[in-house]
Amino acid sequence: MPSLRHSYTVTVPEEPASLPLDRPELQRRKTSSLSRSALVSTFMGLIINQAKNKSPQGLVGLRNLGNTCFMNSILQCLSNTPELRDYCLRNVHHTDLNNNCGTNAALMEEFAKLTQSLWTSVNNEAISPSDFRNQIQRFAPKFVGCNQQDAQEFLRMLLDGLHNEVNRVTVCPKVSAHDLDHLSDEEKGKRMWNMYLEREDSKVVDLFVGQLKSSLTCSVCGFRSTVFDPFWDLSIPIAQKSSSEVSLKDCLRLFTKEDVLDGDERPTCKKCKTRRKCTKRFSIQKFPQILVLHLKRFSDSNVRASKLSTYVNFPLKELDLREFASESSERPVYNLYAVSNHSGNTLGGHYTAYCKNQALGEWYSYNDCRVSPMSSSQVRSSNAYVLFYELATPLHGKYQTCRL
């Protein structure tokens, strides 16, 4: 789904799921029951009218429950992820929950309810995410209490929890050893991706998961081995230059540059059958529909923790990542739609979010309870911490956003 639109169209599935208005007790009342088509029409009317009349759907703040700005920032970024939002608004997640009835679905349910509240609220009063917080704390006790937490770590934990509850795989295949070294890199990457989907297959995976290729080359015999791993986001180092500003591509080049593994880091060469000095390089084999880039601003050394406040210049439109693709035939282009920001230092700070309202085509600042319009020129700052990009056009190569 393209990101840069001032309005957008909702595609109606063959069997559309019911809206939050369609509660079981209302269905039992024949005089007030609504057909599926009427419900879908209501939802589509909500979106179309928003684009036409520029009404403020989705511009609702979240109350801070005690150092929960990290959570609020990520929730607003995810709420403004169009396909994930629609997945919740239209209750499509209920189908996946029913198919995977063996899991506890409380986290997904609360996330969906919160998303629905943010987008169907009749006023702009801030909402308390207390019910959702209770569920995320049950799923991940690390977030119990009022300590400030890392937003990127929270994002990873939340996506993992949501995925587990709507995983379409109900019976995992038996683990079996596969010798894939005789295959070409292209075929090996395909096989590894399909093996991953045999165990992990959900709407969350459809949107957020890509595949990273790691190439290891022996400096003695020249043998090259490849490994393909799924990724939910990319944590990229911040390039250091003499100037106070670097580009996002500088950081990605640093992430994908060739590294030398020597000394205690020497891996075992499969051909030499002994530890050898090797070079290692990353490239992206499969680009996800939603690319999450985590700027590694925080470091934790033995002496003290520190934070980099380097200004990273990232594009709002047309981020072309062709040079980082494993296959030169791919031309992945992304558009930015959300940013999670961290101001302050390692001793204390505050998280906010900048999100682009897809229907209105405008950027807004989400600072806990407060939501305010902002200029696109204000989106870039030295506080940018987690960047959310959406694929501008579908890739027509061998790797798609869903099953191969």
CB 116 within 8 A of CB 20: yes
| Residues 327, 324: Cα–Cα separation, whole Å | 9
Tokens representing 10? Answer: 């909702």
Cα distances (angstroms) measured from residue 173 to each of 98, 176, 195, 196: 20, 9, 9, 11
Q: 116 CB contacts (<8 Å, ≥6 apart)? A: 20, 88, 89
Q: State the amino acid at position 107 in one-letter form.
A: L
342 noted as active-site residue: no
69 noted as active-site residue: yes
Q: Which of 69, 88, 251, 278 is catalytic?
A: 69
| Residues 257, 114: Cα–Cα separation, whole Å | 41
In the three-class reduction of DSSP (H, G, I as helix; E, B as strand; rest coil), residue 381 is classed as coil
Q: Is the dihedral angle over the CA atoms 400, 401, 402, 403 positive or is it negative? A: positive
| DSSP bridge partners of 325 | 284
Q: Which of 152, 155, 165, 175 is nearest to 202 (CA)?
A: 165
Q: Which of 77, 172, 278, 350 is catalytic?
A: 350
In the three-class reduction of DSSP (H, G, I as helix; E, B as strand; rest coil), residue 320 is classed as strand
Catalytically active residues are 69, 350
